[in-house]
Structure 1
Amino acid sequence: MKKIFTIAACLALSAGSVMAQETFPRNGVYDERSGLVALTNATIHTDYKTTLPNATLLIRNGKVVEVGAGVKVPAGAVVVDAKGKHIYPGLVDMFTDYGLPEVKEERRGYGSPPQPESEKQGAYNWNQAIRPETNAVELFTVDKKKAEELRKLGFGTVLAVHRDGIARGTAALVTLADKRENEVVLLDKAAGALSFDRGSSKQDYPNSLMGAVALLRQTYLDAQWNAQNPGKEQNISLKAFAEANKYPQIFEVDNKLNVLRADKVGDEFGKQYIIKGAGDEYQALQQVKATKAPIILSLNFPDAYNVEDPFDARRVSLEDMKHWEMAPANAAMLQKAGVTIAFTASDLKDKKDFLPNLRKAVQYGLSEEEALKALTATPAQLLHVENKVGSLNKGMLANFIITSDNLFAKDNIILENWVQGNQYKITEVPADYRGVYTLKMDGQPARRLLVSGSLEKPELKVIAQDTVKGKISFNGNLVTISFEKDKKSNETIRLSGWAAGKNLQGEGQLPDASTVKWEAAFAEATTEKQKKEEAKEAVALGNMIYPFQAFGQAELPKQETVLIKNATVWTNEKEGKLENADVLLKNGKIAKVGKNLSESGARVIDGTGKHVTPGIIDEHSHIALDGVNEGTQSVTAEVRMSDVVDPEDINIYRQLAGGVTTSQLLHGSANPVGGQSAVVKLRWGKSADEMLIKDAKFIKFALGENVKHSNRSREHSIRFPQSRMGVEQVYVDAFTRAKEYEQNWKAYNKLSKREKAKTPAPRRDLELEALVEILNDERFITCHSYVQSEINMMMKVAEEMGFKVNTFTHILEGYKVADKMKEHGVGGSTFADWWAYKMEVKDAIPYNAGIMNQVGVVTAINSDDAEMARRLNQEAAKSVKYTGMSEEEALKMVTLNPAKLLHLDDRMGSLKEGKDADVVLWNENPLSIYAKPLKTFVDGVAYYDLERDEQLREELEKERVRLVQKMLHAKEGGAKTQAPVSKKVRVLHCEEVEQDAEESYFAY
């Protein structure tokens, strides 16, 4: 048996270079070796929970032959003495772009014409963002430079994902060995890859998140249909999509809300995604847990902000400050909640931050065992390769790392990384000079030197009458030291010399330019206890708040039994306005309205001099949305605003402060048929799903300038329609197709089981399904409108095609056609006194709402604007001024009437026993410009309380100060910082369309 006593000496005897690849003939002689290596006397971590002291790892031909304490080393083996070293399974990163070409997300410049159709030649999908035919293994090439970079982090196996498009095809599992491609590929198809990002596609659709969701949803349906009807259409992409679905599915997202959105799509089609997250999942911990999705976590923690300037500090939002503090705890919080986690280095700008950040995650509460599991066993299990990688058991790949210490120790060094039995040297072991020394210099008092820190970056403290920090560096056995003479002076002593055994000596210069001889006698080594105490830092975190935003709270308000006494009560019922009356809220409902009420256990609020009204309902809003327009096609009925509700929009809280309790979140007006609405209750702090009123089914239509691109650049003149008469034809065509679609399904559903087995089912079309719902009075239209000619046209088309328009919104010329509107049965939701902001509204008058109301049209006042929505009570009051309308009728325009338009008047809009307890307590007459809500209840929960608001403002400032101080201390301690950047707050409007070159327009 040949013994080699240094690990480096084994390099030439690579255990992986064993058998020639039979399909690759070699130009030269074949030098084949058995590659039998025994690493002895090591602490071997065979998996995340099993550690074998003083054990041996025997490998041959790139695989593990045996591992254990009593392994007999066979004759002929190369023996490596690894005494004092640790051996771990090679780490696995299941989300990288290793070996793949860079994805260039080219976008059209300003003024470039849109691309409505795919430009990819061949029998592929109609949309270039759907590219499941991409197989990463076909694009993969070994990249020695990147492989070395990843090996230095401890990785031996990675999943190569081509991060291009919404459906990205399959990913390949490869090792980081410097071999031919065919030798390092472990699985050519290890996983399917998905996202909401259209990638390099220049095609218009989708230009929004909701469009991406809809496209993915339709692609699932199309792939199913294609598989069930093989003779109907040859589509390479759909076949590949179905094939990719056989593998584990990895869905990349860029924030916590998209984790939940992706999971909903997966649930709809029976897919449990593995989610590649963005590091903020802890902010929606319970919802993320409920998805049951394993999460691949980035260790890309944000740097502290440079907040020394108090004005700069004001530019940093509370949520960004708190995320800086709490992001390192993300892994621990998820793991403790029972979420399966794995780690990736993919998002790190500087890959050298990976191991320090991994240790930071441990410092913030993740156990070392779970951290190791997340880098070995978990990714192996998720990719179904636990028999190949992730542990060091017999028969598995010889992928392992050799470290100087525990992997998670602050001063640990990765010495070597073995991949498929091939040895890669990572770091030379520097001499360890850490310890306590007694420093003596000519004519100077004796000092103590404490050398600590890591082997690579030692740290120095000099202890005399004062304790000062200094600098020490080693280059081989040469040493350089510098430190200040004392704390009071800026005079520096500089020493240089060499190590003689454990002692240090040499010459130096004092601040007066005189030279001295010095020696530092070694006294004692840094103990393990000292190392641990040095590495351990107290981690104190602020409270989690819901939502993770200013005015979020650690504990959400709860539903109560509340009795408001002696107020002026605006019932919106036949009882009218009641003076000195009471309102009882119980179990989320209005329990009683009357006088002299009492209720045991109720919280009593004195309403003397105050007013109580139903909550304000905004029929036309665009708050709390991640995008407002899928403005690419003329008909986008398949998109759903419910897919992009943002429950953390500060406008939710602001509008509660204005008495708003319910909003219809509408698609914009970029196309004749827009997306499906989301009707929400403003439950601040709840999830998007918890805000939705799921049985309220509406959709946005639009007329006029916006849909024909009157305000867009000339290059956008290619999309049909480009005229008002073209808009009419879009509706006729869309509903003609919808009727044919419905008839096809009716005919198919009438078939017997035997006949269905022989007859292909029609293709499900989500766009047409939404239109069929309109035809069947299962979904209702809110139509953006201005000009009377188009209003008449829309009603005529509806009557000819067999459906009704539910609401005309904006409707600033409604006073001209109010009689026809009443006859059709359509309501109007308008502005109080907007006019002259574009040509379409030149005939608008402030009497519009009053005239429609007098004719008998159900009329509401809406906002279409985040700021206006906070004062809809005042907008309603304008009709009292302009038209002489009664105060009670005016209030109904923002309460009962929009409830009627939304078909929700059986549960909201008035103060009636049994209706939802959506109630506002005002300080005075709600139509007064001085009126402000004191409390806003939604389902009996006080989501806004003026007194609590004042407390929240104080708490917010204290929390900001605490975080600023923590960042200042972090900077003083040497932490990286970033410049404060003001967060752009987008206030969405009806006609906003964002193009790739930041082009936008606001036409209203």
Structure 2
Amino acid sequence: MTKHFLTALFAAGLAYSSVAQTTFPRNGVYDERPGLYAFTNATIIVDPKTTLQNATLLIRDGRVEAVGTSVTVPAGTVVADLKGKRIYPALIDIDSDYGMPDMTRGPGGGRGGVPQYESNKKGAYYWNQAIQPENEASVLFKSNPVKADELRKLGFGAVLTHPHDGIARGTGTLVILADDRENTLVLKPNATAHYSFSKGSSGQQYPNSMMGSVALLRQAMYDADWYKRSGGKEQANMSLDALNRNQTLPAIFDANDKLGIMRADKIGDEFGVQYIIRSSGDEYQRIDEVKATGASLIVPLNFPQPYDVEDAWDADNVALAELKHWEMAPMNAGRLAVANISFALTTAGLKNKADFWANLRKAIENGLPEQKALEALTTIPARLIRADDQIGTLQKGHIANFIITSGNLFSADNVIYENWMRGKQYIVTNKDASDLRGTWNLTVGSQSNLKLNITGKSADKLEYQILADTIKITPKVAISGDLISIQVPLDKKAGTTRLTGYRTTPTNIKGDGETPDGKAITWSAARAVDTPRSTTGVSTTATSSTLASTTAVSSMLYPFVGMGNTQKPKAETILIKNATVWTNEKDGILTNTDVFVTDGKISKVGKNLPVPADIKVVDGTGKHLTNGIIDEHSHIALLSINEGGQSSSAEVRMSDVINPEDINIYRQLAGGVTTSQLLHGSANAIGGQSAIVKLKWGESADGMLIKGADGFIKFALGENVKQSNYPNPGVLTRFPQSRMGVEQVFMDHFTRAKEYAKGWATYNKFSAKEKATAIVPRRDIELDALAEILANKRFITCHSYVQSEINMLLNVADSLGFKINTFTHILEGYKLADKMAKHGVGGSSFADWWAYKVEVHDAIPYNAALMHRQGVTVSINSDDAEMARRLNQEAAKTIEYGGMTEEDAWKMVTLNPAKLLHLDNRLGSIRVGKDADLVLWNASPLAIYARPEITMIDGTIYFSLKDEDHKHDLMQAERGRLIQKMLTAKASGASTTRPMPKRARMWHCEDVEGVMAEGQGQAEQQSK
């Protein structure tokens, strides 16, 4: 019997492969032979750009000795002829948890249990269990033969593994997937440093939000720097010591989703680190922003299944973004390649690792060039983790990690025969029984007119059919090595003929058999035609037909949700003529007036302005033009709003959790809102830092921020702060538990902030020589924010209701030397409006909310007007996503309740909030030189029937009533097309996912949410 591959040839030689010297004693005798192998006549892909035909790969002691077309094979070498076969570098996955212990979540943090505020980890570690850079994957690593074999079958030879637990996760280790002792498997013990936004197993209350995770990591990084410079003289901290050690390693950040990529990169910019970012496969939706980070990515291939949308009501639970992502996710890698973004591919995120190749081939069909795919699985991951001197190619001196295949690695019919690691062979598919697919001339006894057709998707998954003239017969076939057994009813009346034989050559089979009546016969088969299989090399580009089919199917949206724009809006030169213009200036309301907008600014206001050529002219006849509404108190477009794990969360920033894809941005543009202050909630006395944004639908989170705006911060008083409505009041919770305790929080924190600022001021006055020996103050980003308040560089917006508490905070501010900028809510402001005016604090109020909890029982609808009459700058805010869509009507209520003039009422949602936000030099009125944030209404803006026809920001139209129906029709047509495509996919046998209702989260001050799971923040807020 002829053996055509290496199994028998190497059986003796592989008794032991002398890859490396061992330090372990052995009992008994053992056979150690030199690991010297030559693989000849193969197509060798040395690296994604270098393919050698009829070449030889020489391996000595687990490393590549030589590769080329004229390699001299030394005497004593075990030689294998791989004519017609290929050799590729083994694949590399750099986001694995292979060999890591399972993560066990801590008991703390439950709503019904006892909250955990301090670390339970014993030892000289960091104060928060989510920061655990001291973890070393090489110490935790335990080989797992079952999981290793699963990855080897896919062609992987090495993985970078690390514990996926915590915000600072420790170091990763590079290991090969052989079956051996751990000390021989580890290639680089501390190869990489790892970070994420998830606190993992930590049961501590803090952080409970994405912004808290960002702040905790930032503080830990500053603490590590302090520890390195002088803190180590004061204390021992193994976590900070490890953080510093890890700074020299390639840093990988698990970013959750497309928005997380920018969030992680922002942290990296702050500390001078360029992270390698593990993404989620949705980067194509914001590819320009992703490219601007300069980061290399680790990209999963976990494509979503189609939804089961046969039921129309169920289909309504699927957002347009989810429908489009199902279709476009396979295009992600291809679009990254076109954008020239460096990326590696990973099996991470796949529920079934066996789906990896099917998904990768799907990505190739959707525009990913094969060369880029191979780079993403070999050279790029090796380079990113600085292991390209060992793995990733088959260059001389590299570790002998390679795979032997039947043909093109990316072809659907390719078979991976063997996976070699450090010169040790692992059989993936039985190579002795080579690919049988094709048509065979079959002779059974005296019957020579038979055809045996062998088909199948791969060489190890075959289907058989025998043709006897026009009759088709399906036999039962069993193959073991070269042995072949066939049972076939050639004559159904007579019974089953049994045949057994073996392959004499790759194209011939012979054997013996027995007819149904017991007669002995001989049989044979000769291959007539091979099944066509791919023989091409590594393709560098996708086919033009593939690219055409992918680009024609789906289009991008900005943002990638329902009612998104097919193109990003752009600033225009616009002349609005003959409108009634509410200037909010001394000129008051002007009739039949023109406003000219250029370069995002108001450049002219007047009557009968000349019309330049080639500009957009908007007829405002019978319509009202105002500046955009400004919402002083909003919680839209945020992934979370409360970091309530501590009494003060001054270190967190709402800018870290802006969600530019919240449909409420678009809805509020439709209500005339152009600017919002995105506030922290009221879970704690000292909340987080505000983000003041313009509602630029389709822009990035960073692009929405108003550059140069003053910094603000949220404080809070009352029931929420002292946790009056905590769901389990019998369980001890964090300080404070009373209104008296709230006062002490302010006194304590500002006293510490004063000392903190004083310490830095003293240190900064030192000479360079004095600084060299002085103890460097610890950078505390929480106290930084409070010190900014004391320095009049950050300003307070305080959640408030009750007169006594407002008095308390005013007294605290006066005693400690800082000011309150705005009391927001302040439904009892009418009781102390005179005192507010004396202090210089503004009031941002609801128009007529009351009686929704105990501390608002004294609220009255005249509150805003009464504060205004005492000289307080008053605005009307929403604190509610729905109410913000009709703030114009909320302002009008002050005319009914308090007798405000129309102009003064209108200023309460425009000029006055601009003043409270220190932006009245740019916003809040229509005046030459101000930002062109304008709204054209079909009626007086204070009328209940008023509706914006155009809403523009910086001269760019972000909402147009004229385009509304068309945009909605396009959205519905796209939904319909995708639903039909999903129905077809299900009918074709595709597995489907049941649509589940999703809660559209409308944040309010008291809402608390943990760190969101991957993509949840976006999915919960998308329009249908």
TM-score normalised by the chain length of structure 2:
0.90
Correspondence for 2:519: none
Residue identity (%): 57
Residue 887, structure 1, aligned to residue 887, structure 2: no
Shift of 1:738: 0.7
Quick one: structure 1 residues 462 and 683, their matched pair in 2 at CA, closer, same or farther if it must change by over 3 Å? Answer: farther
Correspondence for 1:489: none
Residue 929, structure 1, aligned to residue 930, structure 2: no
What SS does the corresponding residue of 2:631 show, helix, strand or coil? strand
Shift of 1:496: 10
Correspondence for 1:743: 758
Cα separation, 2, equivalents of 1:330 and 1:471: 42
Quick one: structure 1 residues 49 and 616, their matched pair in 2 at CA, closer, same or farther if it must change by over 3 Å? Answer: same
Residue 706, structure 1, aligned to residue 710, structure 2: no
What letter corresponds to residue 561 of structure 1 in structure 2? Answer: T
Quick one: structure 1 residues 37 and 790, their matched pair in 2 at CA, closer, same or farther if it must change by over 3 Å? Answer: same
Quick one: structure 1 residues 39 and 447, their matched pair in 2 at CA, closer, same or farther if it must change by over 3 Å? Answer: closer
Quick one: structure 1 residues 433 and 28, their matched pair in 2 at CA, closer, same or farther if it must change by over 3 Å? Answer: closer
Q: Tell me which of 812, 835, 842 is aligned to 2:850.
A: 835
Instruction: String of CA shifts for 1:714-741, please: whole Å, max 9, x gaps.
Output: 2554311111111111111111111101
Quick one: structure 1 residues 978 and 16, their matched pair in 2 at CA, closer, same or farther if it must change by over 3 Å? Answer: farther
CA contact (8 A) 2:324 2:978 kept: yes
Q: Tell me which of 351, 358, 373 is aligned to 1:356.
A: 358
CA contact (8 A) 1:497 1:504 kept: no
| 448-457 or 50-59, which deviates more | 448-457
What SS does the corresponding residue of 2:233 show, helix, strand or coil? coil
Q: Tell me which of 555, 565, 580 is aligned to 1:568.
A: 580
Quick one: structure 1 residues 258 and 191, their matched pair in 2 at CA, closer, same or farther if it must change by over 3 Å? Answer: same
Listed as ranges, the gaps of 5+ residues in structure 2 are: 444-449, 490-494, 502-506, 516-523, 1014-1024
What letter corresponds to residue 312 of structure 1 in structure 2? Answer: D
Cα separation, 1, equivalents of 2:821 and 2:395: 67
What letter corresponds to residue 172 of structure 2 in structure 1? Answer: A
| 224-233 or 620-629, which deviates more | 224-233
What SS does the corresponding residue of 2:622 show, helix, strand or coil? coil
What letter corresponds to residue 806 of structure 1 in structure 2? Answer: N
Residue 690, structure 1, aligned to residue 703, structure 2: yes
Shift of 1:502: 8.1
Instruction: String of CA shifts for 1:651-710, please: whole Å, max 9, x gaps.
Output: 000100000000000000000100000000000000000000132210000000110000
| 234-243 or 599-608, which deviates more | 599-608
Q: Tell me which of 589, 594, 611 is aligned to 1:599.
A: 611
Cα separation, 2, equivalents of 1:617 and 1:65: 70
What SS does the corresponding residue of 1:353 show, helix, strand or coil? helix
Quick one: structure 1 residues 733 and 110, their matched pair in 2 at CA, closer, same or farther if it must change by over 3 Å? Answer: closer
What SS does the corresponding residue of 2:603 show, helix, strand or coil? strand
Residue 194, structure 1, aligned to residue 195, structure 2: yes
Shift of 1:925: 1.2
CA contact (8 A) 1:667 1:675 kept: yes
Correspondence for 1:443: none
CA contact (8 A) 2:106 2:203 kept: yes
Residue 758, structure 1, aligned to residue 773, structure 2: yes
Cα separation, 1, equivalents of 2:15 and 2:155: 19
What SS does the corresponding residue of 2:557 show, helix, strand or coil? coil
What letter corresponds to residue 765 of structure 2 in structure 1? Answer: K
What SS does the corresponding residue of 1:604 show, helix, strand or coil? strand
Quick one: structure 1 residues 449 and 150, their matched pair in 2 at CA, closer, same or farther if it must change by over 3 Å? Answer: closer
What letter corresponds to residue 202 of structure 2 in structure 1? Answer: S
Residue 818, structure 1, aligned to residue 827, structure 2: no
| 982-991 or 759-768, which deviates more | 982-991
Instruction: String of CA shifts for 1:313-337, please: whole Å, max 9, x gaps.
Output: 2221111111111111111111221
Q: Tell me which of 278, 281, 296 is aligned to 2:280.
A: 278
Correspondence for 1:169: 170
Cα separation, 2, equivalents of 1:550 and 1:12: 64
Correspondence for 2:646: 633
Instruction: String of CA shifts for 1:641-660, please: whole Å, max 9, x gaps.
Output: 01111101110001000000
Correspondence for 1:380: 382
What letter corresponds to residue 808 of structure 1 in structure 2? Answer: F
Cα separation, 1, equivalents of 2:465 and 2:312: 33
Correspondence for 2:593: 581
Instruction: String of CA shifts for 1:333-376, please: whole Å, max 9, x gaps.
Output: 11221111101112111010111111112111111111111111
Shift of 1:383: 1.3
Shift of 1:984: 2.7
Correspondence for 2:623: 610
| 795-804 or 357-366, which deviates more | 357-366
Quick one: structure 1 residues 793 and 410, their matched pair in 2 at CA, closer, same or farther if it must change by over 3 Å? Answer: same
Shift of 1:110: 3.0
| 62-71 or 634-643, which deviates more | 62-71
Shift of 1:450: 9.5
Quick one: structure 1 residues 321 and 438, their matched pair in 2 at CA, closer, same or farther if it must change by over 3 Å? Answer: farther
Matches for 1:862-901 after TM superposition, within 5 Å: 862-901=877-916
Correspondence for 1:6: 5
Cα separation, 2, equivalents of 1:497 and 1:895: 91
Residue 978, structure 1, aligned to residue 993, structure 2: yes
Shift of 1:53: 1.2
Shift of 1:400: 0.6
Quick one: structure 1 residues 183 and 693, their matched pair in 2 at CA, closer, same or farther if it must change by over 3 Å? Answer: same
Size of the aligned set, in residue pairs, is 971
Shift of 1:586: 1.4
Correspondence for 2:236: 234
Shift of 1:406: 0.8
What letter corresponds to residue 705 of structure 1 in structure 2? Answer: E
Instruction: String of CA shifts for 1:518-568, please: whole Å, max 9, x gaps.
Output: x999874433589999x9975453011110111112212211111111121
Quick one: structure 1 residues 205 and 472, their matched pair in 2 at CA, closer, same or farther if it must change by over 3 Å? Answer: farther
Correspondence for 1:455: 459
Correspondence for 2:447: none
| 578-587 or 402-411, which deviates more | 578-587
Correspondence for 1:30: 30
Cα separation, 2, equivalents of 1:82 and 1:299: 31
CA contact (8 A) 1:568 1:580 kept: yes
Correspondence for 1:918: 933
CA contact (8 A) 1:20 1:32 kept: no
What letter corresponds to residue 6 of structure 1 in structure 2? Answer: F
What letter corresponds to residue 399 of structure 1 in structure 2? Answer: N
Cα separation, 2, equivalents of 1:871 and 1:390: 59
Q: Tell me which of 652, 658, 661 is aligned to 2:671.
A: 658
Cα separation, 2, equivalents of 1:220 and 1:383: 21
Cα separation, 2, equivalents of 1:507 and 1:619: 91
What letter corresponds to residue 787 of structure 2 in structure 1? Answer: V
Cα separation, 2, equivalents of 1:469 and 1:603: 73
Correspondence for 2:161: 160
TM-score normalised by the chain length of structure 1:
0.92
Cα separation, 1, equivalents of 2:54 and 2:307: 47
Residue 785, structure 1, aligned to residue 786, structure 2: no
Quick one: structure 1 residues 939 and 727, their matched pair in 2 at CA, closer, same or farther if it must change by over 3 Å? Answer: same
Cα separation, 2, equivalents of 1:541 and 1:626: 31
CA contact (8 A) 1:15 1:421 kept: no
Cα separation, 2, equivalents of 1:801 and 1:241: 37
Quick one: structure 1 residues 770 and 530, their matched pair in 2 at CA, closer, same or farther if it must change by over 3 Å? Answer: closer
Shift of 1:475: 3.6
Instruction: String of CA shifts for 1:739-794, please: whole Å, max 9, x gaps.
Output: 10111111111111111111122111111111111111111100000000011111
Cα separation, 2, equivalents of 1:481 and 1:810: 85
CA contact (8 A) 1:4 1:81 kept: no
Residue 541, structure 1, aligned to residue 574, structure 2: no
Cα separation, 2, equivalents of 1:507 and 1:681: 85
What letter corresponds to residue 398 of structure 2 in structure 1? Answer: M
Shift of 1:111: 1.4
Correspondence for 1:1001: none
Quick one: structure 1 residues 452 and 340, their matched pair in 2 at CA, closer, same or farther if it must change by over 3 Å? Answer: same
What letter corresponds to residue 862 of structure 1 in structure 2? Answer: N
CA contact (8 A) 1:249 1:272 kept: yes
Cα separation, 2, equivalents of 1:521 and 1:452: 19
Tell me the C-alpha RMSD between the 2 structures: 3.2
CA contact (8 A) 1:296 1:343 kept: yes
Q: Tell me which of 741, 749, 753 is aligned to 1:734.
A: 749
Cα separation, 2, equivalents of 1:423 and 1:970: 40
